C-alpha cells in the first residue's frame, strides 16, 4: 500500500473515536529511538544573565544596574561551579544540573559578525554562517540523514509558520501553539477530508503539504485519546497558556509516539534593549516559564528523557556592558544549553574568554570561543548514532571547525 493510498483510506478511519491503530506508522518505528528537541530563543537572550559569570570581577563593572548577585545573597544566582551561577528564575532546572543531565557551553556562537537578528537566526538555522543563500535548514538535512522511511511523522514543529531550520526536502508536520492544537477542525470530518483528498491526492507541493497536515492531525487526535485519562484527572481544566503548556504537550506526543525523532519550538521576546531587570523584571519573567516548561518536558518524557537531547540556543548574545536604559544591545557570544540522559552534564563547558576590555569582541561583546557548529555537529550525530561524516553534511563547509579539536565532548558514548 503506497502512502497516498493509505491516506485516502485513512480518511474513513477519521471517524471518531481514533484508535491507536489509526496511527499505522508507529508500528514501523523502533521502540526506543533517540530524539532531538531544539528550542530557539529568538531575539537574542542575554546569556550572561542566564549563566552568570559572577566570579569575573569585570561583570559587576560592566553591569551596574542589571547584574545578578553572587550566590548566597538575596535573589542571588544559584551556584553552578564557583565561577558561574544560574539565574534564579531557572531554579526548576537545578535538579537536572545536580543529576548531571544539564550542561552549558558558554561563549558559544557564530563566527559571523552580524548583529542583525534576522541574518544571525538564518545562519544558525541554515547552518552556513555568512551564507544566506542556503535555503534548507540543518534540521531538515538531519532528517534526511536519519534512516528511512521518511514521513511527516518524524518531525514536528510548533507554530503556524515553518521555521527555516526545518525547511527543505524532508516532510515535516507542524501543529498549532496553545490550546488551538487540540480543537477539532472542519477538515477532521470524514466527508470534508474525503472531498479535499480528491483535490489534493497528487504528488505536487500542495498535495504533499495537505497530506502531511492530515497525518499530523491524526497523530494529534491519537495522542489526545491516549491522554484521555490525564484530561479526566485534570478535571477538564485547560492547561495554562504559554511555553509550559506546549512543552507538556510535546512531551506527551513524544512519549506516545516513537515516530517523532525531531521537534522544534521557537520562543520570542528576548530582545531586552530596555529595562531588562535582574533577578526580577522582564527577562526573569521570560526565563521563568522557560525553566518551568523545560522541566515539564523532562518530567513528561519520563523514561524517554534518557534517549532525548534537548538543545536551547539563540542567535547571538548581548552587549557585555549594559546600555543607557537598563538593557543590553545586540552582541556576539552567548551560552548554549543541553539537557538529556546522555549529556555530560553538571558542567559549564567551553573556554571563558573573560570580560576585560581587551578580551571583549570589538571591545563590546562576549567573544565566541566555541563555534556553535562544533557543539551541535558532534553532539547530534553522537546522540543519534549517525556516522561521523554526517556532521559535516549538516553544516557544509565546517569540517575543519568540527574536526579541529578543542570542542568539548558533550555526549556520553
Partner 1 sequence: MMLKTCLLLLSVTFCGLPALAQDTAPLHLPAAAMTAEGARHALDRLTFGPRPQEIQAVQNIGVDRWLALQLNPNAIPEPPALTQALAALPNTKRSDADLYRQEAQLRRDKSDDGKEERKEFNRAVIQDVMTAHFDRALMSDRQLQELLTNFWFNHFNVFLNKGFDHIWVGNYENEAIRPYVLGNFRTLLEATARHPAMLFYLDNWQNSAPGSPQGRHDAKGKEDGLNENYARELMELHTLGVDGGYTQKDVTELARILTGWGLRTRPERRSFFGDMRKPDFTFAYDPSRHDYGDKQFLGFTIKGEREGWKEVEEALSILATHPSTARHLSFQLAQYFVADQPPQALVDRMAQTWMKTRGDMPSVLRTMFESPEFWAPEATGKKYKTPFEYVVSALRAGNVTPADPQPLFGQLRQLGQPIYGIETPDGYKQVESAWLNPDSMARRLSFATALGAGRIGKDTVSIDEASVRSTLGTALSPQTEKALASADPRLRTALLLGSPDFMYR
Residues that bind partner 1 (CB under 8 A): 42-43, 65, 114-119, 152, 159-162, 167, 172-176, 180, 185-187, 191-192, 195-196, 198-199, 202, 205-206, 209-210, 212-217, 268-269, 271, 273-275, 323-327, 329-330, 362
In the complex, what is the shortest distance from the CB of residue 176 to partner 1, in angstroms, rounded to a whole number?
A: 6
In the complex, what is the shortest distance from the CB of residue 135 to partner 1, in angstroms, rounded to a whole number?
A: 8
Closest CB to partner 1 among residues 99, 206: 206
Closest CB to partner 1 among residues 99, 185: 185
Q: What whole-number distance in Å separates Cα of residue 261 and Cα of residue 32?
A: 10
In the complex, what is the shortest distance from the CB of residue 215 to partner 1, in angstroms, rounded to a whole number?
A: 8
In the complex, what is the shortest distance from the CB of residue 174 to partner 1, in angstroms, rounded to a whole number?
A: 4
Q: What whole-number distance in Å separates Cα of residue 227 and Cα of residue 7?
A: 24
Backbone angles phi, psi at 141, to 5 degrees: -65, -35
Which CA distances in Å does 255 have to 264, 307, 309? Answer: 16, 11, 14
Backbone angles phi, psi at 269, to 5 degrees: 95, 25
Closest CB to partner 1 among residues 56, 215: 215
Q: Tell the residue number behind the cell numbers 491526492, with chain if given.
A: 201
Q: Among 33, 86, 388, 22, which residue's Cα sits nearest to residue 217?
A: 22
Tell me if 134 sits within 8 A of 128, measured CB to CB: yes
**DSSP assignment string, 82-147:** SS-EE-GGGGGGHHHHHTT-EEEEEEEE-SS----HHHHHHHHHHS-TT-TT--S-HHHHHHHHS-
In the complex, what is the shortest distance from the CB of residue 124 to partner 1, in angstroms, rounded to a whole number?
A: 15
Q: Among 265, 340, 308, which residue's Cα sits nearest to residue 96?
A: 340
Cα within 13 Å of Cα(377), Cβ side: 26
Closest CB to partner 1 among residues 212, 390: 212
Closest CB to partner 1 among residues 221, 386: 221
Q: Among 308, 336, 256, 38, which residue's Cα sits nearest to residue 166?
A: 38
Closest CB to partner 1 among residues 323, 403: 323
In the complex, what is the shortest distance from the CB of residue 276 to partner 1, in angstroms, rounded to a whole number?
A: 10
**DSSP assignment string, 351-397:** -----SGGGSBTTTBPPP-EEHHHHHHHHHHHHTT--TTHHHHHSTT
Closest CB to partner 1 among residues 174, 342: 174
For residue 173, the cross-strand partners are 156
In the complex, what is the shortest distance from the CB of residue 81 to partner 1, in angstroms, rounded to a whole number?
A: 32
Closest CB to partner 1 among residues 206, 233: 206
Put the strands of the sheet holding 85-86 in their side by side order.
Answer: 51-52, 85-86, 78-79
> Hey, what's the cell of 163?
521555521
The neighbour count for residue 203, using CB atoms within 10 Å, is 9
Closest CB to partner 1 among residues 49, 295: 49
In the complex, what is the shortest distance from the CB of residue 329 to partner 1, in angstroms, rounded to a whole number?
A: 5
Closest CB to partner 1 among residues 97, 270: 270
In the complex, what is the shortest distance from the CB of residue 43 to partner 1, in angstroms, rounded to a whole number?
A: 7
In the chain, the N- to C-terminal Cα span, in Å, equals 39
Pairing, β 155-158 against β 262-267: parallel
In the complex, what is the shortest distance from the CB of residue 298 to partner 1, in angstroms, rounded to a whole number?
A: 26
Amino acid at each position: 500500500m503506497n502512502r497516498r493510498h493509505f491516506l485516502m483510506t485513512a480518511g474513513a478511519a477519521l471517524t471518531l473515536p481514533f484508535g491507536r491503530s489509526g496511527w499505522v506508522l508507529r508500528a514501523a518505528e523502533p521502540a526506543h529511538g533517540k530524539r532531538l528537541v531544539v528550542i530557539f530563543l529568538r531575539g537574542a537572550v542575554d546569556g550572561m544573565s542566564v549563566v552568570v559569570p559572577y566570579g569575573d570581577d569585570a561583570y559587576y563593572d560592566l553591569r551596574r544596574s542589571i547584574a545578578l548577585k553572587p550566590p548566597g545573597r538575596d535573589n542571588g544566582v544559584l551556584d553552578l561551579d564557583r565561577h558561574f551561577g544560574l539565574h534564579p528564575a531557572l531554579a526548576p532546572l537545578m535538579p537536572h544540573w545536580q543529576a548531571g543531565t544539564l550542561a552549558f557551553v558558554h561563549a558559544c556562537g557564530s563566527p559571523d559578525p552580524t548583529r542583525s537578528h534576522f541574518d544571525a537566526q538564518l545562519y544558525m538555522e541554515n547552518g552556513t554562517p555568512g551564507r544566506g543563500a542556503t535555503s534548507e535548514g540543518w534540521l531538515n538535512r538531519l532528517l534526511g540523514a536519519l534512516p528511512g522511511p521518511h514521513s511527516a511523522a518524524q518531525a514536528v514543529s510548533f507554530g503556524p509558520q515553518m521555521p527555516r531550520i526545518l525547511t527543505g526536502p524532508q516532510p515535516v508536520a507542524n501543529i498549532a501553539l496553545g490550546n488551538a492544537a487540540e480543537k477539532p477542525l472542519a477538515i477532521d470530518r470524514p466527508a470534508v477530508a474525503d472531498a479535499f483528498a480528491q483535490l489534493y491526492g497528487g504528488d505536487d507541493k500542495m498535495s504533499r503539504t495537505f497530506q502531511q497536515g492530515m497525518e499530523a492531525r491524526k497523530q494529534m487526535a491519537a495522542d489526545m485519546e491516549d491522554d484521555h485519562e490525564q484530561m479526566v484527572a485534570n478535571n477538564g481544566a485547560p492547561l495554562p497558556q504559554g511555553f509550559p503548556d506546549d512543552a507538556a504537550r510535546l512531551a506527551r506526543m513524544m512519549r506516545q509516539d516513537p515516530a517523532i525523532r525531531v521537534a522544534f519550538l521557537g520562543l520570542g521576546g528576548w530582545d531586552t534593549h530596555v529595562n531588562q531587570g535582574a533577578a526580577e523584571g522582564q527577562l526573569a519573567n521570560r526565563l521563568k516559564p522557560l525553566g518551568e516548561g523545560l522541566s515539564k518536558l523532562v518530567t513528561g518524557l519520563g523514561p524517554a528523557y534518557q534517549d532525548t537531547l534537548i538543545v536551547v540556543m539563540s542567535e547571538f548574545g548581548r552587549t557585555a556592558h549594559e546600555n543607557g536604559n537598563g538593557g543590553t544591545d545586540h552582541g556576539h557570544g552567548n551560552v548554549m544549553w543541553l539537557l538529556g540522559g546522555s549529556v555530560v552534564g553538571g558542567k559549564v563547558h567551553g573556554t571563558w574568554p573573560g570580560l576585560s576590555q581587551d578580551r571583549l569582541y570589538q571591545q563590546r561583546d562576549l567573544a565566541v570561543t566555541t563555534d556553535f557548529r562544533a557543539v551541535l555537529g558532534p553532539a547530534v550525530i553522537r546522540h543519534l548514532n549517525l556516522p561521523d561524516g554526517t556532521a559535516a553534511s549538516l553544516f557544509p563547509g565546517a569540517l575543519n571547525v568540527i574536526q579541529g579539536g578543542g570542542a568539548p565532548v558533550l555526549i556520553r558514548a
